[in-house]
Structure 1
Amino acid sequence: NALRNDWPGYSLDLFTYPQHYYGDLEYVLIPHGVIVDRTECLAKDIMQDIGDNNIVVLCVLKGGYKFCADLVEYIETLSRNSERSISMKVDFVRLKSYHNDQSTQDMQIIGGEDLSKLTGKDIIGTGRTMKALLNNIEKYKPKMIKVASLLVKRTSQPDGYRPDYYGFEIPNVFVVGYALEYNEHFRDLNHICVINDNGKGKYKV
């Protein structure tokens, strides 16, 4: 599940995608079908590790909503067809840390209900940006916290955060699609793609 730094990706000509993004993308990094299959595998791993527990799934908006929805659906299906069941509640929080394609130092935690209700609960967080959120959640002393992220970027920083479950390790490139956005664009793109300079310029704010 690790994509090499020299991975050339897939030609855009092999896939269908919204016409309004023609000319804005470099290549398809991970096709939608591969994302879905990998998410099902993660659901099985989670079921195996924490079956028979009541959990709160904390979805990180907006970039994590498709991954979270698919992951929760697979866990529910596995739970229905298994002797080991999981009772799940889903809550939502939004972390805002990007300006154009650059990650900023300022992290805003927006929305979500009262996090004090997480005290003593098992929590699975789903999303991309986690350190600030984890620091916030840990104040409430939940029983257990596990983080599931679809993507992990390979960086030169040795202290880079590693989630408990992840779908793909990818090169340090800026990706869009499957709810990952660039200034609110590309959420309607099913595949995970690398944006090109034309796309960055067109949608820059």
Structure 2
Amino acid sequence: MAGQSGSSAAALQGGRGRGVVISDDWPGYSLDLFTYPQHYYGDLDYVLIPHGIIVDRTERLAKDIMQDIGYNDIVVLCVLKGGYKFCADLVEHIKNLSRNSERFISMKVDFVRLKSYRNDQSMQDMQIIGGDDLSKLTGKNVLIVEDVIGTVRTMKALLNNIEKFKPKMIKVASLLVKRISLPDRYRPDYYGFEIPDLFVVGYALDYNEYFRDLNHICVINDRGKAKYRV
């Protein structure tokens, strides 16, 4: 996944908070190179991002966040369910950095759930579950932690709901951003990887509640979609 140009390459963009760009023709890694749950054998095409690379990238995002918003009390708003693993790892990295730094971030973690997919299709109406608790964000510094940002609609709906309660600051960190050709596509303040418009699973990202126990981020195949379709 290293390299600045050429086919089958993922180039690292410059600038804090900007992500590793995985090109459309990146072939990924063979599943035979990694261990993964046996009950998913035959359900995946390839490994898009191995677990170790996710961990290292998350650690760097934690460092960027510390440099930008250290010395603040932060409410971390974790978007469930897919964001819980990324959020837990990100918060732990920030805590470790905070313990050994002159900067300090005091964090409280809260949760909200967005339901926007059925099978592999985005639903027209998005549900925000837990929105009644957003009033506690008034006057607070908020860091939204999301698993993947695709269409603008989902994140804009969440931001619009939070902004009604007048927080002091809102920052967004997402593990993944899908590369979708939209004139007003949304870019979070921090993101780990920019990926092609693929339906990916693993590292808590699911397909109808399956594949959350897969450590790597992988591309699901047609057999897997049919097997776990509801």
Give the TM-score normalised by the residue count of structure 2.
0.88
Equivalent positions of 1:86-125 (< 5 A) are 86-111=105-130, 114-125=133-144
> Which of residues 94, 103, 120 is equivalent to 1:84?
103
Aligned mates of 1:144, 1:85 — CA distance in 2: 17
> Which of residues 69, 80, 105 is equivalent to 1:61?
80
> Which of residues 27, 41, 63 is equivalent to 2:60?
41
**Count, aligned residues:** 205
Aligned mates of 1:157, 1:168 — CA distance in 2: 18
Structure 1 gap segments, 5+ residues each: none
Give the partner amino acid of 1:33: G
Look up the SS of the partner of 2:139 in the other structure.
Answer: coil
1:7 match: 26
Following superposition, the deviation at residue 104 of structure 1 comes to 1.2
Structure 2 gap segments, 5+ residues each: 1-19, 149-153
Cα RMSD (Å): 0.9
Aligned mates of 2:208, 2:69 — CA distance in 1: 36
1:193 match: 218
Look up the SS of the partner of 2:188 in the other structure.
Answer: coil
2:167 match: 142
Aligned mates of 1:62, 1:196 — CA distance in 2: 22
Look up the SS of the partner of 2:53 in the other structure.
Answer: helix
Give the partner amino acid of 2:197: N
Aligned mates of 2:133, 2:22 — CA distance in 1: 38
Following superposition, the deviation at residue 132 of structure 1 comes to 1.2
Following superposition, the deviation at residue 111 of structure 1 comes to 2.3
Q: Percent identity?
A: 83
Q: Check whether the contact 1:91–1:112 (CA below 8 A) recurs between aligned residues.
A: no
Aligned mates of 2:69, 2:167 — CA distance in 1: 15
Q: Check whether the contact 1:122–1:145 (CA below 8 A) recurs between aligned residues.
A: yes
Q: Check whether the contact 1:92–1:112 (CA below 8 A) recurs between aligned residues.
A: no
Asked if residue 158 in structure 1 is aligned to residue 187 in structure 2, the reply is no
Q: Deviations over 1:81-113 (max 9, x none)?
A: 001100000000100000100111211011266
Asked if residue 52 in structure 1 is aligned to residue 77 in structure 2, the reply is no
Aligned mates of 1:114, 1:201 — CA distance in 2: 37
Look up the SS of the partner of 1:182 in the other structure.
Answer: coil
